[in-house]
Structure 1
Amino acid sequence: MRIMGIVGWSGSGKTSLVTALLPVLRRRGLQVSTMKHTHHRFDLDTEGKDSWKHREAGASEVLVVAAHRWVLMHENREAPEPSIESLIERMTPVDLLLIEGFKTHPHPKIEVHRRSEGKPLLVGGDPHIVAVASDEALPDLPVPRLDLDDPEAVADFILAWNPGQPIYK
């Protein structure tokens, strides 16, 4: 399974790039999955629903199944956040896994950079950033600069990046 990360500061447009890339990659015939890291608490469940009651009562995992979708919710409880490797192992293999966030993990990544955010580039301190997708010209980059507003070109880069070398195992 090929893996490419999408990293950047909060508000830079990481999710916008991922959601623009998905239909482009699907039109090209690829099966694509995503993984997103967040620093915020979140809940997919609704208080009072049966699945919520199962978790509140102490279930380690709750699997909710319907005809159109299933969701496995795993409670970390006192356990630490799982490693990215263990999370990848749980995923069904696809052609490409796009990982949003996990910016300190050593997998290949495209940095999303917007001039309007006024944040410094990450690329100088991370040898795993293989390109920068930006809405401005960035002279003297050590990696290719991609047009943030051209998801076709970003998809081309992802699919061509080091074709003779596995992206991640």
Structure 2
Amino acid sequence: MKIYGVTGWKNAGKTGLMERLVTEITARGFSVSTVKHAHHSFDVDHPGRDSYRHREAGAREVLLSSRNRVALMQELRDQDEPSLDDLLKRLSPVDLVLIEGYKRDRHPKVEAHRQEPGNPLIAPDDPTIRAVASDTPLELDRPVFDLNDTKAIADFILGEVGL
């Protein structure tokens, strides 16, 4: 599987860019999966539901299945957070895995950047960032795309991974 990341600070436009890239790249006939890092606790289940009750009772894994989707929830309990490499091994094979976040990992990335939050660019100090997608013109030593030019960003990523 090929992997490519979208990184940046909070409110930089990462999730919107990820969503547009998945739509664009799957429309071209490629299969895509995503990995999203969360810096906080999250829950995909709801109190009172059967699967939630199973987890709360102490189950390490709860597999929820219907004819529309399958969700496997794994409680880490007292384990460390899995590495990105470990998480990627859990995915079914696809053409491309797009990774949101994981800015410290060493895979190739596009940095999403918006002027308004006022955050500094990560790219100048990070060679894994191969391009920047920004809402403002920038002078850098690597390609800079308009944050909303999804087609050009997708072309760049697909070219980088050889798809």
State the TM bucket, normalised to the shorter chain.
Answer: over 0.9
Render the CA deviation track for 1:17-52: whole Å, top value 9, x for unaligned: 011111111110010110000101110001111111
Opposite residue 16 of structure 2, the aligned amino acid is S
1:74 matched to 2:74: yes
The 8 Å contact of residues 135 and 146 in structure 2, kept in 1 or not, is answered as: yes
Aligned partner of 2:14 in structure 1 is 14
The 5 Å alignment of 1:64-103 reads: 64-103=64-103
The 8 Å contact of residues 7 and 100 in structure 2, kept in 1 or not, is answered as: yes
The 5 Å alignment of 1:55-134 reads: 55-134=55-134
Percent identity between the aligned chains? 50
Distance in 1 between residues matched to 2:4 and 2:137, nearest whole Å? 23
1:143 matched to 2:142: yes
Render the CA deviation track for 1:142-167: whole Å, top value 9, x for unaligned: 21111111100110000111639xxx
The 8 Å contact of residues 61 and 73 in structure 2, kept in 1 or not, is answered as: yes
Structure 1: tracts of 5 or more residues without a match: 165-169
Q: What is the Cα-based RMSD across aligned positions, in Å?
A: 1.2
Aligned partner of 2:158 in structure 1 is 159
Aligned length: 163
SS at match of 1:133: strand
The 8 Å contact of residues 6 and 100 in structure 2, kept in 1 or not, is answered as: yes
SS at match of 1:161: helix
1:38 matched to 2:44: no
Opposite residue 155 of structure 2, the aligned amino acid is D
With normalisation by structure 1, the TM-score equals: 0.94
Runs (4+) of structure 1 exceeding 6 A deviation are: none
Distance in 1 between residues matched to 2:48 and 2:61, nearest whole Å? 17
Distance in 1 between residues matched to 2:93 and 2:125, nearest whole Å? 31
With normalisation by structure 2, the TM-score equals: 0.97
Residue 71 of structure 1, CA deviation: 0.2
Opposite residue 10 of structure 1, the aligned amino acid is K
SS at match of 2:116: helix
Opposite residue 79 of structure 2, the aligned amino acid is A
Structure 2: tracts of 5 or more residues without a match: none
Opposite residue 125 of structure 1, the aligned amino acid is D
Distance in 1 between residues matched to 2:161 and 2:127, nearest whole Å? 15
Q: 1:6 to 1:27 in 2, by over 3 A?
A: same
Q: 1:46 to 1:162 in 2, by over 3 A?
A: closer
The 8 Å contact of residues 2 and 161 in structure 2, kept in 1 or not, is answered as: no
